[in-house]
Every structure is written in C-alpha cells, then in structure tokens.
Structure 1
Amino acid sequence: MTWKHPSSPVTKKFKVQRSTVRVMATVLWDAKGVILLDILPKGQCINAAQYCSTLDRRERPGLLRRGIVLQHDNATPHSANLTLQWLQRYGCEIFPHLAHSPDLTPSDFHLFGPLKRHLGGMAFEAECDLFNELKNRFAILTLISFEWVSIRCCRAEKNA
C-alpha cells in the first residue's frame, strides 16, 4: 500500500486482454478419422467455389464413390447450386442438419467440442503455430475419438 496526497491523480490500471483469432476451417471426416483439414487464410470466407474445391481434393484414394452420405447444414456454401451440382455429379446423398438446430452434429460433439476445450486459454505467437496445433490435435482426436465411435456404431448395428 502506498500513501498518496488526496489531490494526486488516481493511477489507472490497464487490463491486458488477449485478442482472439477466429480460424475458418473445413473438416471432412468419417468413421476412420479426419480425411481433410482445410484452413482458410485469415480474413477469407468460404463460398460455394471454395467448398467445391475443398471437396475435390482427394486425400484418401477411392473416397468418392457412389453411395457417399454427406452431412452438412444448409449454410449458403453447402446449399448453393454449384455445390448441389458437384454433389449430384458424384452421386452424394445429403443427410441434412439445420444450421441452427439445437441438436449437436457429430462434428460438434466429437471434433469441435474437444478441440475448443483443448485450445481454451492457449496463446500462439504466430498463425502457423495455431495451424500446426490444429493439425496435431485433429490427429490425436482421430486416434482416440473415432476408435470409440466405430466401436459404438458396430455395437449398435449388432443390437439392431
């Protein structure tokens, strides 16, 4: 405690706040794990052309075959004519999920929930450090979560 004269000005205490950086990413995954992680450059938004370009990247050979069921919400890039034409060309079926549905999608529950809990409170010096942490974390989540999901799905199929 310090003594001050009553007429001396009050010292201001500045609060240091960390700025938050939002990262836009497209994550494609199935029961075997993350197929593709596409992180957009800072300030870039996803549109139908970008989304179709991401879908065209084949990280796992033989992935695009007839009978693929894709779950995504009805956001503009997902419901644009260009995207619908792409999905029709590859014979993909859409399993709809409303953008503002109170139900969690599997991605929210198995991918983004654990990711947010892991990254909470972390600070990164550079964007590339954040991207590397995202890639590493998705690899870890793949090993842990999807094994559990696969076992659970197999058990559910046997009980049905």
Structure 2
Amino acid sequence: MSKRITPFASRYCSTLDRLKEAIRRKRSGLLRRGVVLQHHNATPHSANLTQQWLQRYGWEILPPSAHSPDLAHSDFHLFGPFKRHLGGMAFET
C-alpha cells in the first residue's frame, strides 16, 4: 500500500462532505466566498484523495500554528467559554 493511500482518507472526505453540506445549509455565503480550513499533516489529511477533494471545491488550507503545537484543533471551541469564565479574575500566582 502506498504511503499516500489510506482507508481513512475516504472517511475524512466523507466528513468534509458533511461539513460542506452543513455550511451550505447554515452559512451558504461562505461557500461562495471560499472556505479556509486548518488541519495538520495526518495521513488522511495529506492523502491524494483528500487533496483532490480540496482542489475540486477550492478550499484553502492553512498550515498548523507553529506557536501552539500541543493544542488540538478540536479544542479551540473551549477558549471562548474559558475566557468568559475567567474574565475579571485576579490571580496572585
């Protein structure tokens, strides 16, 4: 099996299909302006099948942040509630 072919790539493309449909239903203007996606270099993300999918729909890929390599992209939804919870608090240490 080639390094760039993975059974998980088709699963990831299915996930992108569902994401595209959700964007179409909820925020269709984003699809017309273009989607910018940030993911890392996991095998399903860099597989030829995934790259072809992204090229077909014209989605732009941002490189992962070099400043926080230990943060998972799936955790970014936590920052807003966390900031609101800690807002106005003072810490001595």
| TM-score, scaled to structure 2 | 0.56
Select 2:77's aligned residue among 104, 110, 113.
Answer: 110
Rounded to whole Å, the distance in 2 between the matches of 1:76 and 1:107 is 17
More strand by share: 1
How far 1:78 sits from its partner (Å)? 0.5
How far 1:97 sits from its partner (Å)? 1.4
Select 1:52's aligned residue among 13, 19, 25.
Answer: 13
More helix by share: 2
Residue 64 of structure 1 aligns to a residue whose secondary structure is helix
Select the structure of larger CA radius of gyration.
Answer: 1
Q: Which residue of 1 aligns with 2:53?
A: 86
Structure 2: 5+ residue stretches without partners: 1-6, 85-93
Q: CA RMSD in A?
A: 2.9
Structure 1 stretches of at least 4 aligned residues deviating more than 6 Å after TM superposition: none
Select 1:96's aligned residue among 60, 63, 66.
Answer: 63
Rounded to whole Å, the distance in 2 between the matches of 1:95 and 1:87 is 12
Structure 1: 5+ residue stretches without partners: 1-45, 115-143, 149-160
Share of identical aligned residues, percent? 68
After superposition, the C-alpha distances for 1:71-120 in whole angstroms (9 at most, x for unaligned) are 0010000000100010011111101117xx63525533434xx8xxxxxx
After superposition, the C-alpha distances for 1:3-55 in whole angstroms (9 at most, x for unaligned) are xxxxxxxxxxxxxxxxxxxxxxxxxxxxxxxxxxxxxxxxxxx7100111111
Asked if the contact 2:39/2:73 (under 8 Å) is kept, the reply is no
What is the count of residue pairs matched by the alignment?
A: 68
Query: Higher relative contact order by CA 8 Å / sep ≥ 6: 1 or 2?
Result: 2
